[in-house]
A and B are shown apart, each in its own frame.
Chain A
Amino acid sequence: MMTPTPHDISSPLPPLPGHTSRGRLERVLRAGEFAVTAELNPPDSADPNEVFDRGAVFDGWVDGINATDGSGANCHMSSVGICALLTRVGYSPIMQISCRDHNRIAIQGNVLGAAAMGVNNILCLTGDGVQAGDQPGAKPVFDLDCMSLLRTIRLMRDEGRFLSGRKITSPPQVFLGAAINPFAPPYDFRPLRLAKKIEAGAQFVQSQYCFDIPMLERYMDQVRDMGLDEQCYILVGVGPLASARAAKWIRSNVPGIHIPDSIIDRLEGAENQKLEGKKICIEMLQHVREMKGVSGAHVMAYRQEELVAEIVHESGILKGRRPWTRENNPDYEAVAEAIETVKDQSEHPIDPEEAVAAAFEEH
């Protein structure tokens, strides 16, 4: 289905038929545009300005910002907190939920809270094991897994019920995402797992870092054969490597990232390794842009976030399209109204005794 092109940035977002969210990301993808998302490096701080500063580097270059949920099992500001701040100033975050840290009661509550704050996109993850992070002594929760998490949120959205069957008065209107990793065994099961995720409710998927185009091509062949690229939007993950040393470290210490020797050799042979890393990333992006069945890219430039704008610009993947910029969050009308009411009331202070007496008379 074609929808109006998402160039019009000043208009608010009324719900569109067939859309599950009011978010910009869903519109861009459904309009057949090549979407770009990026990952915000979550601060280890209680200062909101750090979130705003880290969001500002993506301004006007991406269609969605991922707010990670304790990525790598490291402790940072929570994804709900980051999303609350980002939506307040008009950004469009993709809230990640990892099953490692919350049980089903906490997760369903967070989904409602996030949707009330204006979050339109949720990415469902299982999460890294606690051994990978800075607090290996933590208790791993893993109450749900990514698949049952997708199903749970879909149930909340489409049927307006909690997992227990209790009714939700105003269901969360969210665009549901999941993660894929075509670069880890068992390779022949990976496309079937994507099919499973789609069955469970995934509408878009973001992949792990891609450094191996032939391997991705093999995966996409199977995906296209099964017709999965037509049932779900696939965003391929890319990112710049800072140096050959960093690449080797990532390869042996970060689970699930596959970096072929050719990439490391190329970095080692380069004069300026950081520049070469960026070049590789741009080449990957350009490859991915032309790959059939791929709907977008997810640029993860961990601790080099300022490079995202350059990478997107120099790769030319947007082909002149101006992506999303900050806009008014439609859900914030409710907040604005509430603020007005509070202002009114503060001008006419209420006497508590009178208020109680009035309430008593009413009954």
Chain B
Amino acid sequence: MPKSAYQPASRSPVTRSRAFYSVRLWSVRHSRGLERIYKLLAGVFLKLHPFWKFVGYKRAEKPVVLIEKTVKSFLFDCRMCGQCVLSDTGMSCPMNCPKSLRNGPCGGVRANGNCEVEPDMPCVWVQAWKGSRNMRAGDNILHVQPPVDHSWRGSSAWLRATAQSAEEKDAQKTEAG
């Protein structure tokens, strides 16, 4: 095993193996289906906006984070950055890039499409490009992403996105009315 400073969450370099990436790679292969599921889920969450408001977004945070973390950790090896861009990056989580690149592959990608830092890991961004080609909104990968806000780490991206779209909806309503 090559020596490396990069430590994926809760894994020791000794136990890491190619098999570890198989679910993540499955998700990329099924990016189109996952995109559809995510859209549905986002719709449901938005419909539940009055409920979240009633409970309080802050109070809902803890149980939602628990579910979100479990699901996304299993499917994408999610790192809970709190500002999910999976639907813009071909369902390949960019926070798994050892350089946390959020805007495309670095120049160090190996000729076999593996990572420069982790020689046995397929490059997150080579996968992202593949996944995005199967998605309806795949060209979102061409948008420049803002820097990560590290103070959002560990919070629910789902609730944040819901609150945001609810706000936008309200704004549209007031504009129309």
List the interface of chain A (C-beta within 8 A of B): 99-100, 104, 126-132, 136-140, 142-148, 151-152, 163, 179-181, 184-186, 188-189, 192-193, 195-196, 199-200, 208, 255-256, 258
Contacts and interface: CB of A to CB of B under 8 A. Distances in A.
B101 interface: yes
A165 to B, nearest CB: 13
A136 B144 contact: no
Interface string B134-175: 000000001011111010000000000000000000000000
Q: What 5 pairs across the A-B complex have the smallest Cβ distances?
A: A181-B107, A255-B108, A147-B103, A255-B116, A129-B117
A195 B142 contact: yes
Interface string B18-32: 000000000000000
27 contacts: A126-B99, A128-B116, A136-B3, A136-B5, A137-B5, A139-B5, A143-B147, A143-B150, A145-B99, A145-B102, A148-B144, A148-B146, A152-B147, A163-B147, A180-B107, A181-B107, A185-B105, A186-B109, A186-B130, A189-B125, A192-B142, A193-B103, A195-B142, A196-B144, A200-B103, A255-B108, A256-B109
A142 B2 CA distance: 21
Nearest to B115: A129
A126 B111 CA distance: 19
A163 B146 CA distance: 11
Contact of A184 (B6, B105, B129): B105
**Which of A163, A184, A256 gathers the greatest number of chain B CB atoms within 10 Å?**
A184
A180 to B, nearest CB: 7
B173 to A, nearest CB: 29
A258 B116 CA distance: 13
A186 B107 contact: no
A131 B107 contact: no
A338 to B, nearest CB: 36
Main secondary structure of the interface of A (DSSP, over half): loop
Given A145-B101, A184-B109, A185-B111, A104 B147 contact: yes
B106 interface: yes
A185 B6 contact: no
A128 B6 CA distance: 13
Main secondary structure of the interface of B (DSSP, over half): loop
Contacts of B73: none
Contacts of B15: none
Contacts of A148: 102-103, 144-147
Contacts of B146: 148, 151
B100 interface: yes
Contacts of B144: 147-148, 151, 196, 199-200
Nearest to B102: A145
Given A184-B107, A184-B108, 8 more contacts: A128-B108, A142-B100, A143-B150, A189-B104, A192-B142, A193-B105, A196-B144, A200-B144
Contacts of A184: 105, 107-111
Contacts of A137: 5
B139 to A, nearest CB: 9
Contacts of A140: 5-6, 98-99
B94 to A, nearest CB: 9
A136 B4 contact: yes
Contact of A130 (B2, B5, B142): B5
B101 A189 contact: no
Contacts of B65: none
Contacts of A100: 99
Contacts of A147: 102-104, 144-145
A129 B99 contact: yes
Contacts of A128: 108, 116
Nearest to B100: A142
A350 B101 CA distance: 55
A186 B125 contact: yes
B85 interface: no
Contacts of B2: 131
B108 A129 contact: yes
Contact of A126 (B3, B101, B148): B101
Contact of B108 (A142, A180, A196, A256): A256
**Which of A99, A127, A147 gathers the greatest number of chain B CB atoms within 10 Å?**
A147
Contacts of B42: none
B116 A256 contact: yes
